[in-house]
Amino acid sequence: MTAYKLRTKPHDGQRQVHDSTARFRVLAAGRRWGKTRLGVSECLGIASEGGRAWWVAPSYKMGAVGWRPLANLGARLGGEVRRGDRQVLLPCGGEVAVRSADDPQSLRGEGLDFVVLDECAFISEPAWSEALRPALSDRLGGALFISTPKGRNWFWRLWTQGQDTAQDELRSWRFPTSTNPYIAASEIEAARGLLPDRTFRQEYLAEFLEDAGAVFRNIRPCLHHEHTEPGRHRDHRVVAGVDWGKHLDFTSISVVCSECRLELALDRFNRIDYAFQRERLKALVEHWRVADILAESNAMGEPVIEQLQRDGMPVRGFQTTGTSKQPLIESLALAFERSEVLWIDNEVATLELEAYEMQPLRSGRMQYSAPEGLHDDTVIARALANHARLSAATSRVYVY
């Protein structure tokens, strides 16, 4: 009982998640990190203010993990504990209920102020998108997604989106078990010795492990933090790749020195008028003395490229189709496997590379894309820059 009381004070990781003002928070953490305690505290905190919160588990049986501490702590707060319904009613009128997601349709109907999705990686995506997310709309409610990873499913995609600082409502964290100061290091090492490496990495290190559909490998060893100046590349062949976007999508620009095989700059932005995008590209080109720009010409790309050409910029268009995209992406994947280029260590860009996937088509070709809901703008920009690097058409040095 004494140990239980000692653990009521949140550790640093729990405090980070709790203090976040994001409406939707995604937490990937190792076993025994304290995910359940954090979620229970969040639910009771909402209920103590008169709100309605749900604890949603993958199955009725797994719901007991959250129900036991909810019932115990709810009783201490003077609440009415309805064990048959798995519901706690607090004196202020707030309530917390435990629900099962094994039938997503059973989660429809009620308006909610807050929901915890426990072991979210084991809950079907429709339970969230078709039932729980709409239930939060009328009250502008929030959600906490907690789980150990399970490959790269929708929980991983949600976590990946939360790593993008451009997101206003969504934030994500990843903590290994070792960041819980109440778990002995010897216990973690004992688990390491008993478990298969993949299991330990997933369950204790909270790693999202690659699956068979991953396109890019050897990513992390090909990243760099090197600071460089234009003068170091003055007589080198510097190229750039550009993927255009405007509103929901991002425009990304990758600048690479072909001689040094080093990415010199990576820019990513959205919600900017095309005129300003052109000026932003021009500034990068002039700063790094870019000799050749390969820009995607699909959709609005073509008129933007034509304007840049009228302005005297060394830009070529690349039409991305099902046929042209495969060799473009495969060339970049090969560059990573062979460590041919060092790329800037940018977390959002790295996550896009790790998320990128392939699926075989009936025609025998491969379809390459980001998972639904994620972006691939830096992937395409880097693929275009890599293509320009390898292209014979860029054998000159641009002179201003």
Amino acid at 244: W
Distance linking the first and last C-alpha atoms of the chain: 75
Q: Is CATH 1.10.1520.10 correct for 220-394?
A: no
Percent of the chain scored above 70 by pLDDT?
92
pLDDT tens profile 8-57? 588 999 999 999 999 999 999 999 999 999 999 999 999 999 999 999 99
Enumerate the domain spans of the chain.
Answer: 2-203, 220-394
**pLDDT at res. 317:** 94
Q: Is the pLDDT of residue 1 over 50?
A: no
Q: Is the pLDDT of residue 6 over 70?
A: no
Question: What 8-state DSSP symbol labels residue 60?
Answer: T
**pLDDT at res. 266:** 96
Q: Across residues 301-324, what is the average pLDDT?
A: 91
Q: Is the pLDDT of residue 4 over 70?
A: no
381 close to 290: Cβ distance less than 8 angstroms:
no
Assigned CATH for 2-203? 3.40.50.300
pLDDT confidence tier of residue 396, bands split at 50, 70 and 90: very low
* C-alpha closest to that of 148 among 25, 30, 34: 30
Q: What share of the chain is helix, strand, coil (3-state, %, to 5)?
A: 40, 20, 40
**pLDDT at res. 7:** 37
CA-based radius of gyration for the chain: 25
pLDDT tens profile 228-270? 999 999 899 999 999 998 666 789 999 999 999 999 999 998 8
Q: Is the pLDDT of residue 58 over 60?
A: yes
pLDDT confidence tier of residue 368, bands split at 50, 70 and 90: confident
**pLDDT at res. 187:** 93
Q: Across residues 357-382, what is the average pLDDT?
A: 80
- pTM beyond 0.85: no
**For tokens 């019932």, what's the residue?**
71
Give the span between the Cα atoms of 261 and 240, in whole angstroms. Answer: 12
pLDDT tens profile 92-134? 999 999 999 877 778 887 799 999 999 998 888 889 998 999 9
Q: Which two tokens stand for residue 331?
A: 């060339």
Mean pLDDT (the chain, rounded): 88
Q: Across residues 79-88, what is the average pLDDT?
A: 94
The number of beta carbons lying within 10 Å of the beta carbon of residue 250 is: 24
375 close to 250: Cβ distance less than 8 angstroms:
yes
pLDDT tens profile 154-187? 999 999 999 987 778 999 999 999 999 999 999 9
Question: What 8-state DSSP symbol labels residue 342?
Answer: B
Identify the burial level of 274 via C-beta atoms within 10 angstroms of its C-beta, where 0-12 means exposed, 13-18 middle and 19 or more buried: middle
Taking each helix axis from N to C end, the angle separating 377-390 and 347-355, rounded to the nearest 10 degrees, works out to 90
Amino acid at 308: L
pLDDT confidence tier of residue 359, bands split at 50, 70 and 90: confident
Helices (H) and strands (E) in the chain, counts: 14, 17
Give alpha helix (H) positions in the chain. 2-6, 12-19, 35-47, 64-76, 125-126, 133-135, 154-162, 185-194, 197-203, 274-288, 301-310, 322-337, 347-355, 377-390
